[in-house]
Amino acid sequence: MSMEGRGLLVVVSGPSGAGKGTICKGLLETKKDIVVSISNTTRLPRDGEVHGKNYFFISREEFLDMISKDGFIEYAEVYGNYYGTPRRYVEENLHQGRDVLLEIDIQGALQVKEKYKEGVFVFILPPSMEELKARITKRGTEDEKEILRRFESAYKEINYVSRYNYFIINDRVDTAVEKLRSIITAEKCRVDRFKMKLIGQ
Amino acid sequence: MSMEGRGLLVVVSGPSGAGKGTICKGLLETKKDIVVSISNTTRLPRDGEVHGKNYFFISREEFLDMISKDGFIEYAEVYGNYYGTPRRYVEENLHQGRDVLLEIDIQGALQVKEKYKEGVFVFILPPSMEELKARITKRGTEDEKEILRRFESAYKEINYVSRYNYFIINDRVDTAVEKLRSIITAEKCRVDRFKMKLIGQ
């Protein structure tokens, strides 16, 4: 185990369409010393989504059973579907000193923050609201009403940035990925995080 | 001026011989959007040191005159010589939105922290005390007593790390430089730093 002991919990969040998925993917392509937690969801797979890669697609019954067994560190119902982060995978990896990346929505991130105050909470902002609208629209899998609902929700959600530790404006993916990588590197250098260990030396 | 407005004050400090000079030099070689503050000193130049590059070498009278005019953001007498950071250069650059790098000793850094709480304070640690001793000795410009005094002082000074925001263990220069660069990038993404501006948008 490294000097750091317990791994770092990195929570990447933000409004739908801000590009948090793309940024996390970019990080994972080059950074191999972080594991990603795969969420469970009851919604149906979108085109190209793979079970066990994008999500674990499970039934409503299975999801409710896991809730009853305290099996999630966060879960939420969004647009009528359940999404949740299984507790066991996160806990085991952090305990073994591995950093864990969560890419989750804002409701979920705020739940995680209640229990994991030492986590690093990163909010992804779209470069502008117009851009956000374009991205939500371009996804092309939702009808008009769904798009409008998402856009309004995203607009309200942006105020939650104040509850996070860091923000990244996603105007260029490579720059945004580099910022996320820097945040993780910097957090490991924070004196507050390891004060007890250093003083003891 | 960027969204950030005022520039970031980055203070790199640590015990003598920890390698803070080498790390700052490494950062400046590739990072062009940060200016470095050159200290004034009353000590004599070491071999190869250049006036206006390593230090401004000034007389004791000139130094005392600047003190009386509040011309330093920090100054200290170390081993019988004065060292100080001229206020004007730092203030002008920060005001113009430029990041400023200070490489100063611990006494000086703690003075700067009193006045610039929003600064980023980075403590460079030697990989081990043995290594620190070797580095101080290798410099080869001091006599035995001077070396011993520096080593004892460095040992005591390491406890000051708890007053800093970040620490970097200088076991490999390129890794240490990368950490310093990441800290600066990450600090610009901190929500606390720009909360007011973001909420106002």
pLDDT value for A9: 97
Q: SS3 letters for A12-63?
A: EECCCCCCHHHHHHHHHHHCCCEEECCCEECCCCCCCCCECCCEEECCHHHH
Query: What part of B 53-92 touches A (C-beta under 8 Å)?
Result: none
pLDDT confidence band for A92 (50 / 70 / 90) = very high
Q: Is A189 on the interface with B (CB under 8 A)?
A: yes
Residue A60 CB neighbour total at 10 angstroms: 10
Residues of A in contact with B182 (CB under 8 A): 181-183, 185-186, 189
Report residue B142's pLDDT band, with 50, 70 and 90 as the boundaries.
low
Contacts of A14 in chain B (CB under 8 A): none
Residue A2, pLDDT > 50, answer no
| Spatial CB neighbours of A155, under 8 Å, sequence gap ≥ 6 | A15, A129
| pTM, entire model | 0.85
What is the set of domains in chain A, with CATH numbers?
9-37+98-199 (3.40.50.300)
Q: Does A30 contact chain B (CB < 8 Å)?
A: no
> Is it the case that residue A189 has pLDDT exceeding 80?
yes
Confidence of residue B140 (pLDDT cuts 50, 70, 90): low
pLDDT value for B141: 62
Q: Would you say residue B32 has pLDDT above 80?
A: yes
What is the Cα–Cα distance from A154 to A15, expressed in whole angstroms? 5
Q: Is the ipTM of this complex over 0.90?
A: no
Say yes or no for a CB contact (<8 Å) between A198 and B161: yes
Q: Region A137-163: what's the mean pLDDT?
A: 79
Give per-residue pLDDT as tens, A26-78: 999 999 999 999 999 999 999 999 999 889 999 999 999 999 999 999 998 88
B116-120 mean pLDDT: 95
- pLDDT tens profile A97-134: 999 999 998 989 999 999 999 999 999 998 887 777 77
Reply yes or no on whether the pLDDT at A1 is more than 80: no
* Summary mean pLDDT of chain A: 88
Which residue from B1, B19, B20 is spatially nearest to B10, judged by alpha carbons?
Answer: B20
Q: What torsion do the CA atoms of B55, B95, A128, A113 make, to the nearest 10 degrees?
A: 70
**Interface membership of B172 toward A (CB under 8 Å):** no
Whether residue B196 is predicted with pLDDT greater than 80 in this model: the reply is no
Sequence-ordered list of residues with C-beta below 8 angstroms from that of B54, at least 6 positions apart, any chain: B38, B45
- Chain A residues closer than 8 Å to B168 by CB: 189
The more confident residue out of B179 and A135 is B179
| Residue A121 β-bridge partners | A11
Residue B199 has pLDDT above 60, yes or no: no
Which residues are registered as beta bridge partners of A199?
none
pLDDT average, residue stretch B29-39: 94
B96 contacts chain A (CB < 8 A) = no
Mean pLDDT of chain B: 88
Q: Give the confidence band of B43 by pLDDT, cuts at 50, 70, 90.
A: very high
Total residue length of chain A:
201
What pLDDT, on a 0 to 100 scale, did the predictor assign at position B126?
Answer: 87
Q: Residue B200: pLDDT above 50?
A: no
Question: What's the mean pLDDT in B137-161?
Answer: 78
Label residue A200 by pLDDT band (50, 70, 90).
very low
Q: How confident is the model at residue A196 (pLDDT cuts 50, 70, 90)?
A: very low
Percentage with pLDDT > 70 across chain B: 92
Whether the per-residue pLDDT at B198 is higher than 60: the answer is no
3-state secondary structure of B6: coil
Q: What is the pLDDT of residue A138?
A: 72
Collect all residues of chain A within an 8 Å Cβ-Cβ radius of residue B189.
122, 166-168, 179, 182-183
User: What pLDDT band is residue B31 in, cutting at 50, 70 and 90?
Assistant: very high
Per residue in B46-80, pLDDT (tens digit) is 999 999 988 999 999 999 999 999 999 999 888 89
With a CB cutoff of 8 Å and minimum separation 6, the contacts of B186 are: A166, A179, A182, A183, A185, A186, A187
Task: Give the gap in angstroms from C-alpha B23 to the nearest C-alpha of chain A.
Answer: 15
Q: Check CB contact under 8 Å for B199 and A164.
A: no
What is the C-alpha separation between A177 and B137, in angstroms, rounded? 42
Question: What does the pLDDT read at residue B131?
Answer: 76
